[in-house]
Amino acid sequence: MKDYSLPKNQLKKMDQDDSEEKLKKLPLLLRSVFLFGGIFLVGMVLFSLPRYFFQPADTIHIHGNHVLSEDLVKRLLDIDKETNWINLDPYLLSLNLTKHAWVDKGIVHRTFPLSIDVFITERVPIAYLKTRKGLFLLGNDCLVLKVLSPDDGWDLPVIVNNNIKDIKVKDKLSKASLSNVLKLIELLKTNKILPLDAVSEINMTDPFNIELITIPQGIKIKLGYENFERKLSKLHYFKPTLKKLNKKIKYLDLRYNQGVVIR
């Protein structure tokens, strides 16, 4: 018996033709409604976007701050509340951040929607600096930093120099003038007899002598201004004597090649 049914591909084509025919039969008014409705929606979106971007920024995301508070960073940005998001200048905002001594690098980006991303790299303090003017922090680039809180928790050595009279935050000290004391700090970090944790102050007021003050005994140790490694090594040989005289020692003088002067 012969099969007079049409092939499947031909049936599919007939269905498509029927769909197109039905679409053609849709009322012209209904098709116009769909067309103009789509155009209207697209137009509304295109009209609203520019108005949206010309609104003020509503969110500020801050990254990388550990010392500076978020409120302080927002104040440093100095954003005019009437300035809209699209007209904010990320470069100028970044410059505003770097005006603060604690900010080493500041980068600002505008991010959708109506947000600002702030990335901060803060300076790393290496020591306290005590002068006649008060107590400061010293950055790793020898920039003078403000102590933001007395309970900031920095476990750092205290460098004392009462010869420094006129000093303020953001002053940059000469690395050459601090090279000896910074070298001494590095040596004390690995010294087992006199570790850095056992030193309360490193006094460099005397231009010919660096003096250490230990804790808790308050013993003064005179080192001069050179050959620190050799001088500190003397403490190893005098360790038994130091233990016996611990409470009676006022100062140690390591500046002499022949030995150690103990008082």
Amino acid identity, position 131:
T
Residue 12 within a domain: no
Residue 192 within a domain: yes
Structural domains counted in the chain: 3
pLDDT at 50: 59
Residue 138 within a domain: yes
Between 125 and 33, name the one with better pLDDT: 125
CA 14 to CA 21: how far, in whole Å? Answer: 10
- Alpha-carbon 23 to chain mean position: 64
Do 97 and 109 share a domain, yes or no? Answer: yes
Residue 5 within a domain: no
Q: What is the mean pLDDT of residues 181-194?
A: 92
Do 160 and 214 share a domain, yes or no? Answer: no
The tokens for 97 are: 């951040």
CA 202 to CA 190: how far, in whole Å? Answer: 16
- Beta bridge partners, 119, equal 63, 107
Do 200 and 164 share a domain, yes or no? Answer: no
CA 212 to CA 160: how far, in whole Å? Answer: 10
Q: pLDDT tens-digit profile of 109-139?
A: 999 888 999 999 999 999 999 998 899 999 9
Query: In CATH, what number is assigned to the domain containing residue 250?
Result: 3.40.50.11690
Query: Domain ends where: 171, 187, 209?
Result: 171
Asked which of 44-58, 78-92, 161-175 is least confident by mean pLDDT, the reply is 44-58
Q: Taking a C-beta distance cutoff of 8 angstroms, is the pair 136, 142 a contact?
A: no
Whole-number average pLDDT of the chain: 81
pLDDT at 6: 44
Task: Tell me the whole-structure pTM to 2 decimals.
Answer: 0.74
Residue 205 within a domain: yes
Q: What is the mean pLDDT of residues 26-32?
A: 55
Query: In CATH, what number is assigned to the domain containing residue 115?
Result: 3.10.20.310
- Beta bridge partners, 105, equal 121
Non-local (6+) Cβ contacts of 255 within 8 A are 209, 222, 223, 224, 231
Amino acid identity, position 134:
G
Do 154 and 212 share a domain, yes or no? Answer: no
Q: What is the mean pLDDT of residues 58-83?
A: 92
Single out the residue of 96, 156, 151, 150 nearest to residue 120, CA to CA: 96
Host domain of residue 243: 174-263
pLDDT at 193: 87
Rounded to 5 degrees, what angle do the CA atoms 259, 262, 263 make?
Answer: 155
The span from the first CA to the last CA of the chain, in angstroms, equals 128
Do 205 and 261 share a domain, yes or no? Answer: yes
Residue 193 within a domain: yes
- Alpha-carbon 113 to chain mean position: 26
Do 202 and 179 share a domain, yes or no? Answer: yes
Residue 23 within a domain: no
Non-local (6+) Cβ contacts of 160 within 8 A are 130, 131, 201, 202, 203, 204, 205
Residue 14 within a domain: no
